[in-house]
Amino acid sequence: MGNRLSRAAAAALTVLLAAGCSWTDPDPAPAPSSTAPPRPTAATVHPERVVWWGGRSFGLQSLSVREETDGRTTYDLVLRVDTASPVKLAVPFPRIVLESGGLAVADSGTAGAGPLPSEPGVGTVHTVLRGSAPAGERPDLDALALVLTDPAAGSARAVLPVGDGGPEPVALAPVPLHASAATLDTGRFHWDVVSAQVRDDTTGSTALLLDNGVNVNHDSRVLRGLKQGQHTVQVLFDAPAGTIGEVLSWQLTLPDGRRIAPSVPVTLTTYPDRTDRVSLAAWFDFYGDTAGTYTLQAADGSAAPAVIALGTG
């Protein structure tokens, strides 16, 4: 049957050509080209360079560039993501921008590139960006910068130079604070101080995850980005299961003497591997200088507050 169809098609084509008519294939195969399409170009990257955003650290493992048939450029990125957290995190994926000379050449847009794993640990994320540069124009790969930010205008920006010709890095790296005591002791409560940091990349969020729209789900710590120039002091505690951080009155005195309250309620998050303890987090957002000593106070009713000094030195 197949041979008969092939012979019939060949005969019909011969008749058309003999009559001086033209025949157009409704689904033509690509015309042969003397030059093959350009192969992807791999940029030289520095995997050791790291920036922070949304409570995670990011490194660029690879970046390749490909010219499309319409002349535009596609950027293929693989990011290494380290979630160094004692609990699961819930935070939107950052907006990813590739810049050259301060101008965007590719942008993931406000929708981001998909969710990140919330489990603590190290993983990789693969994302593809379509270039916004004019057709036929490819920026200098050595001068590119990877920018992580929040879709909202005025958000903090982590800047990771791709090569050696890019801008200065903006790591948004957390700065550890040294606590004067290992335990927050209010008399009724005894909570271990796990860590204290000044952070520029993330803070707590009031967008609590809900289970069935009714009960607050404490399985993940909900975070959001900060604004440019904004900082937060993040203090993590380890406490017995059932502890509620809101029972205490919290206050942080900044190095310049200002006193501020927590930016969101001090809430608990359960550990993924134990049920007898919970993790508590306090965030204090502010603008201004960060160097110096902070004073954390937590009062249980009318009792004298527990006081812990947190120093950057």
Closest to 141 (Cα-Cα) out of 38, 40, 53: 40
Q: How far apart are CA 151 and CA 113, in angstroms?
A: 12
- For residue 91, CA distances in Å to 23, 52, 110, 202 come to 58, 13, 14, 9
**For position 211, what pLDDT does the model report?**
47
Closest to 298 (Cα-Cα) out of 207, 179, 205: 179
Q: How far apart are CA 300 and CA 250, in angstroms?
A: 9
For residue 267, name the pLDDT band (cuts at 50, 70, 90): confident
At 32-78, the pLDDT tens digits run 444 555 667 888 889 899 999 999 999 999 999 888 777 778 899 99
For residue 26, name the pLDDT band (cuts at 50, 70, 90): very low
CB 225 within 8 A of CB 202: yes
> What per-residue string of b and e applies to 110-124 under the rule 16 or more CB within 10 Å gives b?
eebbeebebebeeee
Average pLDDT, the chain: 83
**For position 134, what pLDDT does the model report?**
58
**For position 265, what pLDDT does the model report?**
92
**For position 264, what pLDDT does the model report?**
93
For residue 115, name the pLDDT band (cuts at 50, 70, 90): very low
For residue 112, name the pLDDT band (cuts at 50, 70, 90): very low
**For position 213, what pLDDT does the model report?**
47
CB 271 within 8 A of CB 186: no
CA torsion through residues 130, 161, 93, 111, sign: negative
41-161 is classed CATH 2.40.30 = no
Boundaries of every domain in the chain: 41-161, 175-311
Strands 215-216 vs 210-211: parallel, antiparallel or unpaired? antiparallel
Q: How far apart are CA 187 and CA 82, in angstroms?
A: 37
Please give the average per-residue pLDDT across 79-85, as a whole number.
Answer: 93
175-311 is classed CATH 2.60.40 = yes
What whole-number percentage of the chain has pLDDT above 70? 79
CB 193 within 8 A of CB 185: no
**For position 18, what pLDDT does the model report?**
32
- Which DSSP symbol is given to 186? -
- Which DSSP symbol is given to 102? T
At 166-191, the pLDDT tens digits run 899 999 999 999 999 999 999 889 99
3-state secondary structure of 2: helix
- Which DSSP symbol is given to 206? S
At 192-219, the pLDDT tens digits run 999 999 999 999 988 764 544 444 568 8
Q: How far apart are CA 308 and CA 179, in angstroms?
A: 6
What whole-number percentage of the chain has pLDDT above 90? 55
**For position 207, what pLDDT does the model report?**
74
3-state secondary structure of 114: coil
163 by Cβ neighbours in 10 Å (0-12 / 13-18 / 19+) ranks as middle
Q: How far apart are CA 224 and CA 263, in angstroms?
A: 12
Q: Which residues pair with 227 in a beta bridge?
A: 155
Neighbouring C-beta atoms of residue 90, cutoff 10 Å: 22
Q: How far apart are CA 94 and CA 108, in angstroms?
A: 9
Which amino acid makes up residue 139? P
**For position 133, what pLDDT does the model report?**
59
Strands 88-90 vs 220-224: parallel, antiparallel or unpaired? parallel
Tell me whether domains 41-161 and 175-311 share a fold: yes
Closest to 250 (Cα-Cα) out of 178, 198, 202, 305: 305
